[in-house]
Chain A
């Protein structure tokens, strides 16, 4: 992979009075239960991972599992109780106030779970706010903000106040605001959960298109597995502050690291996750039909084609060399088999 942008080394965040002392005493073995008995709440527990440039890491987990807290640590909205965080090689916790502000002004954007718009500012003022804080001229910042208003499809409402917008519209303002400064690193805390399914899909597509163009480094929180699959390069699954598994979507579904992850991914439609390569038969087979499918196709997309074949289907790589084969019955197994033993 290319260069690392975000790097966490055993990051802990524990809420409570003498959290720091307790963490030191525990030698890194933090047990949420024992901490809770002593009046501390564990938000993030020993998180270590890296995010590469241009990569999109999706963080999932039940409510209260510490997703937002992890994001807050990395943006240093709260100081991590222990561990190290590097942003583009810089030690985040070593930055002084001024450097931190500079970093946020130039590199970071964040979309908040509850929108967090400024109630006294109109849509366009809200979006222009980070620019104005940076000291951009009023006219320039308003022009730029108007571009963003158009981008998120709110033209005509630029002079509305947040209280006059629906939840979905407010969230779009939040997204536009976080993009106004063109950040390299983009944190999104459940950005689409307030949107209705139609707009959500539209926004997701828009989001992917943007990402293709802008190639930002993204950490994205969601509750929706479909969304995660659609967007993620890699997925992190959290439980009680611990990152249970961090891997590509396919690996998480095929090889769950823990019982919890298995349960979590049980209901996931496999055909949406897996690609042909994951399920093909690599032993050579001569009895192949005419149809060839790429090994990188997601099963869902080619399932219909394969299922209409009577013969075994050849799998090819990008150079059109045959690398394996797949039986139509295997597709049926994959789609329905995974769920059968689950429920």
Chain B
């Protein structure tokens, strides 16, 4: 009894667990139940039950409701699909002027908007692409095909790679200094020499459109939300869902709305990249001390000046994190959107992975990662740039960057021209090194992989088998064995214990949505993979973070490493693991672990760092040793922040699990991938995406509520 009074929460949790397990044991698996495959797969079978809703027929196998809930939301994907189709093809037809045929044409408004948007995006991408690589679409866009036939020399020639490399280096120098300039130059030279120039520039042109647009939209919407409570309220739920929505899932509806190609990829990238930008903008603007704003007003700022010169710069730190996120997402999407026909490195990467050509994949992946890091560093340097008013510079000093660029421009052109004589009859290597005609280390890597495989095959295989048979399979079976009701009770109970009625209701709604969808089993598989990944990631991340924290230098170093790793597009993580473990669940899980360890480590270090120095000193003065200080003071205080890290770890893990479908898993991701090639896949893809997002949101809600309470308790809210 005494214990009960002392630790009431502990007993409540124990009670919850007891109920959960009791339910698990009490509810048997129905004999006819076929895991995963048995559910609504849209095959007709006389044993199926049927119901109609909103005119849609939904078929499913009925089981004991305690075991699995019937898919009462089974109509949703079909309905989304039909609505999309209706909106695109029948809703609000209007007359539109057609330039090409010179006549009015009737079209549904949404289709027209989509076409215009598509044309606009395509134009932007092509413009940059043709500046970098040459082509004639841009000129055509302003004139016509007949015109270009008459004046074929008007075609944009494209820049020789030497000029682009020099330009990147000079720009980096101007923004930051020698270090970045060297990095930029080497990156560009590497890309060129290894024959990745064309795909790299294609990807770059895609990024140079997607990233600024995402930035502008995100910033704009963020400001709008900051200024108006109503906008914020309207945006908030969308932002929440989008934050945990796997990027795959948005591909499918985009396919329906915008078709296939780079433009669709840009739009989709914006859909994914804008929400974090909005959130961070709001966060940054909110944190501005009111007196700074007042100081701006007293200086006589107009509203515009206040926004541009006071608010945005003052919120710079968070906005910059937003920019970093945007770039990260853009590169991630640069790969993923290869599924819907975006050209560039991503496409090559996927192709190479598909052919199991690890060497090629590695090279493409390295290129993407290098460009990502470069752009990230450049944008950071740009935002932190300072003006020097007192330099007393000469004309040459002030304009030296422009002069250097002009010089390298001329030299580049001369080189390219000279190249036409040197490389007569073959490729002009001083102009552009064609794809796969550069140096390639792919063979080397492939041989390396083969060697590793031959040498360590026995061990790898043994490890693999052990992991799958003795750890993963049983764990998976356990998860699948959970009756729907027991899971619901567990989730709702946890919600209630952590955040009271409110949390319980939110969690219940989210869980019910998944349980009532036709993919409960697959959601459980997703969950099992994510859990496995998260547990190991946290163990590694918290340990590594704590160890690195012991020393200022190693902490800073580790944060830097996290920064760089975070900039890698998620797909890149699949390359090395496939190299070692081939196409198995193990590969996916290891990728998940590596990817999700980043936030776990980062937040651990940041959390420990945020413990006030005064407390440190006070603790040291009271004669506490290092270990005691860690366990008694630093951990408890840093724990809330570390829990936010856990939250991120879960989101990262879920993302990677879903991407893992590419390797072949049996979870929700697999279905999303399938939906991509399905004519009616949009609804399914979106619903699946929402399911995954909701898994993330359940944990998000629980963790955040807990953290808030804990912070209040510790007085560091």
Contacts and interface: CB of A to CB of B under 8 A. Distances in A.
Contacts of A130: 298-300
A118 B313 contact: yes
Interface stretch (A26-34, A51-59, A103-111, A332-340): A103-111
B300 A109 contact: no
A110 B309 CA distance: 18
A155 B314 CA distance: 25
A118 B289 CA distance: 10
Interface in A110-143: 110, 112-122, 124-125, 129-130, 133-134, 138, 142
A84 interface: no
B389 A72 contact: no
Nearest to A126: B295
Given A104-B297, A124-B389, A114 B291 contact: yes
B299 A129 contact: yes
A142 B295 contact: no
13 contacts: A72-B294, A77-B297, A110-B295, A114-B291, A116-B289, A116-B294, A118-B292, A118-B314, A120-B316, A129-B299, A129-B309, A133-B300, A177-B299
Nearest to A115: B291
A125 B388 CA distance: 10
Contacts of A117: 292, 295
Contacts of B309: 129, 133
B300 A112 contact: no
A110 B301 CA distance: 14
B305 to A, nearest CB: 6
Contacts of A119: 292, 314
Given A116-B289, A119-B314, A101 B302 contact: yes
B164 interface: no
A75 interface: yes
Contacts of A178: 298
A164 interface: no
A102 interface: yes
A116 B295 contact: yes
B308 to A, nearest CB: 11
A96 B389 CA distance: 36
A134 B294 contact: no
A118 B300 contact: no
A125 to B, nearest CB: 8
Interface in A241-266: none
B314 A75 contact: no
Given A72-B294, A104-B299, A133-B300, A120 B289 contact: no
Contacts of B298: 75, 77, 104, 108-110, 130, 178
B300 A122 contact: no
A77 B299 CA distance: 11
Contacts of A102: 300
B386 interface: yes
A134 B301 CA distance: 8
A97 B303 CA distance: 10
Given A101-B302, A130-B300, A120 B313 contact: yes
Main SS at interface, chain B: helix
A159 B391 CA distance: 12
A97 B640 CA distance: 45
Given A117-B292, A118-B314, 5 more contacts: A77-B297, A113-B291, A119-B314, A130-B298, A130-B299
Interface string A76-97: 0100000000000000000001
Interface in B303-337: 305, 309-310, 313-314, 316
Contacts of B386: 122
A99 B689 CA distance: 53
Nearest to A101: B300
A117 B310 CA distance: 10
B294 A120 contact: no
Contacts of B299: 104-105, 129-130, 133, 177
A190 to B, nearest CB: 12
Contacts of B305: 133
B294 A112 contact: yes
A133 B292 CA distance: 15
Contacts of B300: 101-102, 104-105, 130, 133-134
Q: 6 closest A-B pairs (Cβ-Cβ)?
A: A105-B300, A116-B291, A130-B299, A116-B295, A104-B300, A120-B313
A177 B300 CA distance: 12
Contacts of B294: 72, 77, 110, 112, 116
A118 B310 contact: yes
Interface string A248-288: 00000000000000000000000000000000000000000
Interface in A167-184: 174, 177-178
A114 B389 contact: no
A83 B118 CA distance: 57
A120 B309 CA distance: 10
A254 to B, nearest CB: 37
B288 to A, nearest CB: 9
B389 A142 contact: yes
A112 B291 contact: yes
Contacts of B295: 110, 112, 116-118, 174, 177
Interface string B482-514: 000000000000000000000000000000000
B515 to A, nearest CB: 42
Contacts of B291: 112-116
Contacts of A133: 299-301, 305, 309
Contacts of A105: 299-300
A149 to B, nearest CB: 12
Interface in B267-293: 289, 291-292
With most chain B CB atoms within 10 A of its CB, the pick from A77, A109, A117, A178 is: A77
Nearest to A142: B389
A130 B302 CA distance: 12
A10 to B, nearest CB: 24
With most chain A CB atoms within 10 A of its CB, the pick from B289, B295, B314, B390 is: B295
Interface string B385-415: 0110110000000000000000000000000
A77 B298 CA distance: 8
A119 B299 CA distance: 16
Nearest to B305: A133
B419 to A, nearest CB: 45
B313 A114 contact: no
A104 B302 CA distance: 11
Nearest to B290: A116
With most chain B CB atoms within 10 A of its CB, the pick from A116, A122, A134, A138 is: A116
Contacts of B301: 101, 133
Contacts of A77: 294, 297-298
A178 B299 CA distance: 8
A105 B387 CA distance: 24
A41 to B, nearest CB: 16
Contacts of A114: 289, 291
Interface string A311-332: 0000000000000000000000
B316 to A, nearest CB: 6
Contacts of A159: 390
A138 B300 CA distance: 17
A102 B299 CA distance: 10
A142 B392 CA distance: 13
A110 to B, nearest CB: 4
A282 to B, nearest CB: 48
B298 to A, nearest CB: 4
B689 to A, nearest CB: 38
With most chain B CB atoms within 10 A of its CB, the pick from A108, A112, A113, A120 is: A120
Nearest to A143: B389
Nearest to A122: B386
A225 B302 CA distance: 38
A171 to B, nearest CB: 12
A137 to B, nearest CB: 12
